[in-house]
């Protein structure tokens, strides 16, 4: 019975392989011969500490742009890049320390303190007793094992 199913399946496969539906040609995509665009964004989130930005311009085959990211070590990474068919992709990476303006602080003169009074040695106090907690669970009892009977297979 299995052989008949396999043979019928193969015959159906061979018969349907010769029948193909005609495929319509795909329309050609319209290509802009001189693409131009410009975009950018800037994120300044003091709550999460996320500071980054990116801007890019394209004029034909020439692409220029830059982006900034604050690295975990506290420096700002600035990447200026350009790409064209003649020179390929080129990037210049700079690092700058983050400069955070500290608020102006007024320094007051240090107060003059009187000398501390001389105090005798501290009195001896008995140490507090140490209490130990009782275990919550008692150890499990040893399992009861049934005696082994001789096996009829290993006589």
Residue that wins the pLDDT comparison between 115 and 85: 85
Q: Return the pLDDT at 88.
A: 92
Cβ(63)–Cβ(57) below 8 Å: yes
Give residue-wise pLDDT tens across range 53-92. 999 999 999 999 999 998 888 899 999 999 999 999 999 9
Residue 54 falls inside a structural domain: yes
Residue 112 falls inside a structural domain: no
Model's pTM, two decimal places?
Answer: 0.46
Full residue range of the structural domain in which residue 65 is found = 34-98
Give residue-wise pLDDT tens across range 20-32. 566 667 777 788 8
For residue 31, CA distances in Å to 28, 35, 36, 37, 59 come to 9, 9, 12, 15, 15
Residue 75 falls inside a structural domain: yes
Cβ(64)–Cβ(72) below 8 Å: no
Spatial separation of the C-alpha atoms in residues 60 and 54, rounded to whole Å: 20
Q: Look up residue 95 and give its two tokens.
A: 């690092």
Contacts of 14 (CB under 8 A, 6+ apart): none
Residue 115 falls inside a structural domain: no
Start-to-end CA span in the chain (Å): 48
Residue 94 falls inside a structural domain: yes
Residue 58 falls inside a structural domain: yes
Residue 82 falls inside a structural domain: yes
143 HSE (CA, 13 A, CB side): 3
Overall domain count for the chain: 1
Buried b / exposed e along 45-79 (16+ C-beta atoms within 10 A): eeeeeeeeeeeeebeeeebebbbbeeeeeeebeee
Per-residue pLDDT band at 47 (split at 50, 70, 90): confident
Residue 148 falls inside a structural domain: no
């Amino acid at each position: 019975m299995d052989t008949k199913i396999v043979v019928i399946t193969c015959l159906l496969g061979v018969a349907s392989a010769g029948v193909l539906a005609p495929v319509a040609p795909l329309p050609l995509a319209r290509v802009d011969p001189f693409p131009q665009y410009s975009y950018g964004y800037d994120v300044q989130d003091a709550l999460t500490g996320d500071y980054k930005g990116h801007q890019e311009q394209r004029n034909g085959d020439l692409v220029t742009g830059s982006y900034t990211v604050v690295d975990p070590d506290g420096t700002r990474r600035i990447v200026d890049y350009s790409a064209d068919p003649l020179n390929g992709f080129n990037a210049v990476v700079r690092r700058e320390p983050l400069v955070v303006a500290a608020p102006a602080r007024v320094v007051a003169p240090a107060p003059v303190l009187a000398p501390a009074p001389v105090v005798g040695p501290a009195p001896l106090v008995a140490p507090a007793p140490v209490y130990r907690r009782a275990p919550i669970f008692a150890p499990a009892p040893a399992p009861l094992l049934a005696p082994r009977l001789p096996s009829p297979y290993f006589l």
